[in-house]
Amino acid sequence: MSRIIRATVTPILISDPPLLNVLGVHQPYTPRTIVEIETDDGVTGIGETYGDTDYLDVARKLADALPGRDLTAMNGLYALASATLSGATDKVKEFDPAGLRGTRNNEKLIRSVVSAFEVASLDALGKTTGLPVHCLLGGKVRDRVDYSGYLFYRWAEHPDGEAPDDWGAALDPDGVVRQAQRFADDYGFTSFKLKGGVFEPEQEIAAIKALAKAFPGYPLRLDPNGGWSVEASVRVAEEVGDLLEYMEDPTAGVDGMAEVRKRTGAVLATNMCVTTFAEVPEAFAKDAVQVVLSDHHYWGGLQATRELAALCRTYGVGLSMHSNTHLGISLAAMTHVASVIPHLSYACDSHRPWQTEDVITEPHRFVGGALEVSDAPGLGVELDRDALAALHERWLTRPDMRDRDDVAAMRKVHPDWVQPSLPRW
Ligand SMILES: O=C([O-])C(=O)C[C@H](O)[C@@H](O)C(=O)[O-]
Ligand SMILES: [Mg+2]
């Protein structure tokens, strides 16, 4: 039995383009947390999760509690984290304005942190046993995992010119189609999701129509992060519902989603109104969501994602996968868990093509819009220590970027910007 001798938590800041959403715009740098778990066999496993200060505080405390524990004791991580933190997380806000991640409470915060430690443990266990993570999860049912091209309205550059890239602006239907074309050319994506809630619904309807014309037959999704009223959602469903494989969080809250469903019959997906197990019964009973977007970070890890999959399967609800700005360790974990869930029948989301940096030695490359599932031991990726050190150094020197805040980032360009209340339209 392997024992943990050390757990290390390294906060980093990664470059992020000026991607727009219902609340504002991404900052030039986004925080992530990298976790390393070393065992007495001389093996190190790695994991990744959100990096905002609240997450980091929890991760550091959990890391301190790990030495001496059995590496395989992953089902006990949540209880350990809760016990370590009891009374320490009361400051957590109920709603996270920066991340658009739905309910935020202590349980979800702890699960998000535990996910990185579970993944690091599975990586270490895989390296110790010579087995890939998908084998530790019961074995893959597919060799390739499909991803969807994640389109954003965006500016050409951040106001201060930081973290530049060569994508240019996309602020109208032509710009969105150009962006999709580059995604298709470079990575072969055969389905697209457009992050909406940025402009009036009519403009986003026009973008979806333009995408459908340029890419006939491609599955399309539109996600305004709860930015529309029920009436606006119904209008969008009437206009472009037949072009969309699902509408993602058209309106905020279970009751609004249930009404949109009742009035339009549209397939509705969410990563906002069902992001915890406690939210499942009401949402399913009210038929408010037909597809849950799993996210192994905030559902609590790869095993927890399988538990969610079983629930969805039982209730006839579809499963797809959400992403937030992330690097290759998370992408490897997403790909392993997606490969073992028969029920995961939609292309997964990934922000990764927007990132120009990584902390792994051989960053993934999407081919035909998909990633091969690695059969190498563990996650099948190696930490690039120089890159990790450089991104950590940025974290040390940029305390202003340590918490993602899309509202504050927008205020740099529009000084009067306040967090829009939902629905915006
Ligand atoms: O599907 C989603 O709702 C997301 O990916 C949430 C993210 O925060 C996204 O809106 C973003 O990166 O701006
Ligand atoms: Mg979403």
Residues 365 and 406 in one domain: no
User: Tell me, what's the ipTM?
Assistant: 0.98
Task: Indicate if the pLDDT at residue 274 is higher than 90.
Answer: yes
The residue from 108, 134, 195, 296 that is catalytic is 195
Residues 172 and 48 in one domain: no
The bound ligand whose nearest atom lies closest to the alpha carbon of 246 is 2
* Domain housing 102: 4-133+384-411
The bound ligand whose nearest atom lies closest to the alpha carbon of 148 is 1
How far is it, in rounded angstroms, from Cα 234 to Cα 54? 37
178-201 pLDDT per residue, tens: 999 999 999 999 999 999 999 999
Residues 172 and 269 in one domain: yes
212-256 pLDDT per residue, tens: 999 999 999 999 999 999 999 999 999 999 999 999 999 999 999
Task: Quote the ligand 2 centre to 194 CA distance (angstroms).
Answer: 10
Residues 70 and 157 in one domain: no
Residue 369: its pLDDT value, please? 98
Residues 123 and 155 in one domain: no
Task: Indicate if the pLDDT at residue 99 is higher than 80.
Answer: no
- Kindly report the CATH number assigned to the domain that includes residue 227: 3.20.20.120
User: Is 379 domain-assigned?
Assistant: no
23-80 pLDDT per residue, tens: 999 999 999 999 999 999 999 999 999 999 999 999 999 999 999 999 999 999 999 9
Q: Whose CA is nearest to atom 9 of ligand 1?
A: 324
Residues 89 and 211 in one domain: no
Residue from 148, 223, 272 to probe ligand 1 pocket by mutation (most atoms less than 8 Å from CB) = 223
Q: Counting atoms of ligand 1 from 1, which one is nearest the CA of 20?
A: 13
The residue from 127, 134, 158, 322 that is catalytic is 322
Lowest mean pLDDT among 81-90, 235-244, 273-282, 346-355: 81-90
Q: Whose CA is nearest to atom 6 of ligand 1?
A: 100
Residues 119 and 175 in one domain: no
User: Is 309 domain-assigned?
Assistant: yes
Task: Quote the ligand 1 centre to 256 CA distance (angstroms).
Answer: 20
Residue 86: its pLDDT value, please? 72
4-23 pLDDT per residue, tens: 999 999 999 999 999 999 99
- Kindly report the CATH number assigned to the domain that includes residue 20: 3.30.390.10
Confidence of residue 95 (pLDDT cuts 50, 70, 90): very low
CA dihedral 101, 104, 108, 110 (to 10 degrees): 120
289-331 pLDDT per residue, tens: 999 999 999 999 999 999 999 999 999 999 999 999 999 999 9
Residues 275 and 366 in one domain: yes
Q: Counting atoms of ligand 1 from 1, which one is nearest the CA of 406?
A: 13
Residues 144 and 249 in one domain: yes
User: Is 142 domain-assigned?
Assistant: yes
Task: Quote the ligand 1 centre to 73 CA distance (angstroms).
Answer: 32
286 given a catalytic annotation: no
Residue 104: its pLDDT value, please? 78
351 given a catalytic annotation: no
Q: In total, how many domains does the chain have?
A: 2
User: Is 377 domain-assigned?
Assistant: no
367-421 pLDDT per residue, tens: 999 999 999 999 999 999 999 999 999 999 999 999 999 999 999 999 999 999 9
Residue 261: its pLDDT value, please? 98
How far is it, in rounded angstroms, from Cα 222 to Cα 175? 16
Residues lying with their CB under 5 A of ligand 2, a single-atom ion: 223, 248, 271
